[in-house]
Amino acid sequence: MSEGQTVSGTGPELVEPLNFAQQAVLERAIAKIVLLGELVGVSADQMILLLESGLTVSELLEYLGARTMQVTGKRPLLEVVSERTRGD
């Protein structure tokens, strides 16, 4: 994403462009997800295809966590709490 791009929600509406700090945080988060994927045998291209096929980011993270368990035999150090299990 370039600095001037906007992020869309679930519909056609656009939100405010990310500021520099938000952009940096987003880029670091994406880099970490890509690294985790590579460690468990899922390429960035495969993750993109999963997201394009309808998987949510939360579901992708759950999938990578499950792959981590398969590859290492251990639970991931970080667990993602989805909206379904948080109980807000």
pLDDT digits (tens, 9 = 90+) for 5-28: 445 455 556 688 889 999 999 999
pTM of the entire predicted model: 0.63
Q: Where are the domains of the chain?
A: 20-77
Q: How far apart are CA 38 and CA 70, in angstroms?
A: 14
**Mean per-residue pLDDT, 76-82:** 53
What is the per-residue pLDDT for 73? 77
Q: What angle do CA 5, 61, 74 make, to 5 degrees?
A: 150
pLDDT digits (tens, 9 = 90+) for 19-72: 999 999 999 999 999 999 999 999 999 999 999 999 999 999 999 988 988 887
